[in-house]
Structure 1
Amino acid sequence: MKSKVLVALTGIIAMLVVPLALAASSIERVTVQTEGAGNSVGTATASALSSAVAQVNGAELASTTLSTELTQTLDTNAGSDFAAASATVEAIAQRTKGLVQSYRILSKAENAGVWTVAVEATISKYARSEQADRLRMTVLPFRTHSASQGATSGRFVTSLTAQLTSSRKFAMLDRAFEGERQSEMGVLSSEGTSMEEMAKLGNRLGTDYMIVGVIDDASIHTQSTELAGRTLTAKSATLSISYRIIDAPTGQIKMADSWTGSMAGDAIDSLAAKAADAISRQIVDSIAPIKVESVLGDQLYLGQGGASIKVGQKYRLLLAGEAIVDSYTKESLGRQEIEVGLIEVVDVQSKIAKAKVLKSSVNIAEKFPTSTFIVRLQSEAAKPAPAGVSSKKAAPVTALKQKVENDW
């Protein structure tokens, strides 16, 4: 019986430890060396530790309040040997609530009443997600010509953001809920929050590219026709959007295009979703076209999943060839794309999709280890168009980031 209880307790402890380990993984420890100056050893040490915090986490955390906390703690132990006073180190860790994990004094010197202290300090730092290293994009509210188009603009921006996020190729930054984010950051900086948690402050990301644009037209047209003494009424919706991708630091326009679609009825929302799907695909195809990541017989695993890929969609299978360089600008124009087959998506997961090969002119499994295969959605022109629907698709553009331009 005791053994069963012990096993049960062990299982419970294991379940508790795993989440705690995962929760703690967002905080890492960074050791740095800094110097500080002041009219006492305590003040100079406090200055050095404050500089260490600023070096690791930014000036937002190395505030006057923190410096005061450090100075008060160190001045309390002014008579001790700071390099060996473990009680002082522990006091600092407690007073800063874990932000300054530990430190040791490397050297101290006095000149004309001014002390200079060099320290080696271990500071808590918020470990950002690896996704933050992706190309960063922000979809900003699209401008409108009338107040009635505001709802359409909001739905389009929301849908475009969701599509680009699900591609998992970019770090999509939110600007729509900035107030809520600021409120949460205010909680982190309030009294009672551990400074180790406060390490999350000062980590706001800046965007690389802004996606902006204008809703040029979002209208519903009604047409009446007299037939055999009766009046027949038909509605059609039209949506026209122009957009740009702008390099945030320089303001340079990296891409500009437009999309126009129409549909029978008054389904402007459906057109907004269709526009978001087409534009997001154009952006992804330009920067990071979908690659074949694994081959198993006639099954291909694609490096993209989520809402942007749907079961039943057919993609052209392309073999990447030589790089193409513009003769005038010497910039990369992409690479040769040799069509070698056709595939159909049979399963979609959050990060990957599985497709079956419908036809192929090469032995994919044989070439795959040393060759790069990409896929592009079969054009609408190659499929029967749904009744009452027409659209204008954006033309191919060059990649937005130099690293990607060198490949595609």
Structure 2
Amino acid sequence: MRAFKILFFAGLLSLSLNAEVVTKTSTKSSTGEGVGITREAAINNAIIEAVGKMSGVNINALKKSHTSSTSDNKGTNIQDSYSEEISRATKGRADTFEVNSIEQDDKGNYIANVTIYKTTTTKKYKAPGQSASNRRSITVFNATPDIDKRGIGNNLQQQIITDLLQSRKFNVLERDTPGYYEMEKSLIKSGDAASDEVYKLKNVLATDYILLFSVSDIDGGVKKSNLTGKTKVEVEMKVDYRVLLFATRQIKFSNTLVMKTTIKDDSITADTALIEQIAGRISSDILNAIYPLKVASVENGEVVFSQTLNQGDTYECFALGKAIKDSYTKETTGRVETKSGDIEVVRSTPKLSYAKITSGSVKVGDICRPLSNGSGSGNGYTIGRDANYKIDENGGVNLGF
């Protein structure tokens, strides 16, 4: 337990090491040339030209500015008196300048060359961990309408979130507890927080995908064996789910799962096992649709993946060929796939998984999909099984127990 606590707090410390406010200072410059009958007029016209090049500001405002300052050989008095005029006339888009050269032609006119500068300092909060821009964002919503089933839906939502996080492919966003964020915002805006804490605000990510699911049916019962007299719990659940692309509200993926589990234990354990199976199936469907499992490396005869997979899971792998377009819409519908082999996961870590090649020759870049064993079960869940329940006339559900 002591070792666990040390590791736990060390993990929390490592998460906070890279959180910081980054300060960045940049200076823009622009050069202009001007002619005038006096030294000051030539410099003024050169500044006007430089400002126009830098930002296209209203240079008439600068033309109206004037000064009665005198200049010396270093031009320091000119710089001091003009800096305020530059900042005012350009609305802060330029704040100082320097005279590069000034000459007088044979007609007595002055020709000045100046460079103006605008220095900007910005601060930005750098969130700890990997950059969110490297991953797509997804939000998971429990849309179960029946209040009696929402508790199961909440457990399923938590398990789906856990599975998606462990895949390390998504930014999984939180939308169910806005009150806690409001409390934290109030603290940051109060006088008690350090001034730089305000840069943590306005960094909330908008989602790319919305996962909506609904637990539409769930039932269970106890079945007793006539031969052994032993009982077992059977639980069946029906879940409808869809994935929406937020920007366009397009439904990108939709499915209905009817899954059943049998366990020699109490119904609570059975429900938990069924929730884990359904969450795993939904997460797997989404990952395979958006991020098909791809071979990252082949080392010492083992296939390596950059995510956590379940030991014992089996997959079939395919080499990708040319892209195929729909004859009518001209959209790319996929790529020609040639089966390269079958694999079985033999071990995994929090970030990597290793599989042995059971047939064929699998290469880096091949994509892999869950392999059914033909009996209706594979990778711990039922694939494509028809619902075996019947709805009675009075609205009850007969599971056939």
**TM-score, structure 1 length as denominator?**
0.62
Is 2:215 the counterpart of 1:256? no
Work out whether residues 314 and 345 of structure 1, in 8 Å CA contact, stay in contact via their aligned partners in 2: yes
Deviations 1:329-376 (A, max 9, x none): 12222222222212222221122212222222x4x5xx64xxx21222
Equivalent runs, 1:182-193 vs 2, <5 Å: 182-193=182-193
2:29 is aligned with 1:29: no
1:142 corresponding residue in structure 2: 143
Question: Do the aligned residues in 1 keep the contact of 2:25 with 2:122 (CA within 8 Å)?
Answer: yes
User: Is the contact between residue 315 and residue 371 of structure 2 (CA under 8 Å) also seen in structure 1?
Assistant: yes
- Matched residue, 1:403: none
Q: Give yes or no for contact 1:132–1:171 (8 Å, CA) kept in 2.
A: no
When Rg is computed on C-alpha atoms for both structures, the one with the higher figure is: 2
Match for residue 397 of structure 2?
Answer: none
Cα distance between partner residues in 2 of 1:219 and 1:317: 36
Q: Are 2:371 and 2:378, in contact at CA under 8 Å, matched by a contact in 1?
A: no
Distance 1:393 1:107 in 2: 75
Change (3 A) 1:335 1:391: closer
Per-residue CA distance 1:228-259 (angstroms, 9 max, x = gap) = 9xx99765311000011112233222221111
What residue in structure 2 maps to residue 272 of structure 1? 275
CA contact 1:144–1:153 (8 Å) conserved in 2: no
**Alpha-carbon distance between aligned partners in 1 of 2:162 and 2:217, rounded to the nearest angstrom:** 22
Output one character per residue of 1:71-95: Cα deviation in whole Å (capped at 9) or x when no partner: xxxxxxxxxx9x98xxxxxxxxxxx
2:124 aligned partner: 125
- Gaps of at least 5 residues in structure 1 are 1-18, 35-80, 85-103, 395-408
Quote the offset at 1:198 in angstroms: 1.7
Write the distance in 2 (CA, Å) between the matches of 1:316 and 1:391: 15
Query: In structure 2, do the counterparts of structure 1 residues 194 and 206 end up closer, same or farther at CA, with 3 Å as the change threshold?
Result: same
1:392 equivalent in alignment to 2:384: yes
Describe the shift of the 1:385–1:198 C-alpha distance in structure 2 as closer, same or farther (beyond 3 A). closer
Q: Is the 8 A contact 2:318 2:367 kept in 1?
A: yes
Counterparts of 1:165-184 in structure 2 under 5 Å?
165-184=165-184
Taking a change above 3 Å as real, the CA distance of residues 343 and 391 of structure 1, as seen in their structure-2 partners, is closer
Deviations 1:151-209 (A, max 9, x none): 11011111111111111111110123332233233322221322222211110111111
Q: 1:273 to 1:105 in 2, by over 3 A?
A: farther
How far, CA to CA, are the matches of 1:21 and 1:106 in structure 2? 48
Partner of 1:107: 86
Determine the C-alpha separation between the residues in 2 that align with 1:268 and 1:191. 49
1:376 counterpart residue number: 369
Residues 263 and 390 in structure 1, CA contact (< 8 A), matched pair in contact too: no
* Kept after mapping to 1: 8 A contact 2:307/2:352: yes
Q: CA deviation at 1:132?
A: 4.0
- Whether the 8 Å contact between 1:345 and 1:354 is mirrored in structure 2 is yes
Greater shift, 175-184 or 275-284, is seen at 175-184
How big is each residue's C-alpha offset from its partner over 1:292-332, in whole Å with a ceiling of 9 and x where there is no partner? 11222302211212xxx112222222212221221111222
- Equivalence for 2:57: none
Among all aligned residue pairs of Structure 1 and Structure 2, give the percentage whose two residues are the same amino acid: 25
Report the CA distance shift for 1:287/1:106 in structure 2 as closer, same or farther (over 3 A).
farther
Aligned equivalents of 1:189 and 1:241: distance in 2?
43
**Residue matched to 1:40:** none
- Tell me which amino acid in the other structure corresponds to 2:139: T
Q: Report SS of the residue matched to 2:295.
A: strand
Change (3 A) 1:343 1:259: same
Aligned length: 291
Structure 1 counterpart of 2:163 = 163
Q: 2:356 & 2:224 partners in 1: Cα distance?
A: 47
Structure showing the higher helix proportion among its residues: 1
Work out the CA distance in 1 between the residues paired with 2:162 and 2:255. Answer: 20
Amino acid at match of 2:281: A
> CA 1:126/1:105 → structure 2, altered by over 3 Å: closer, same or farther?
farther
Q: Is the contact made by 1:260 and 1:391 (CA closer than 8 Å) also made in structure 2?
A: no
**What letter is aligned with 2:138?**
M
Corresponding letter in the other structure for 1:243: Y
Task: State the distance in 2 between where 1:353 and 1:161 align.
Answer: 20
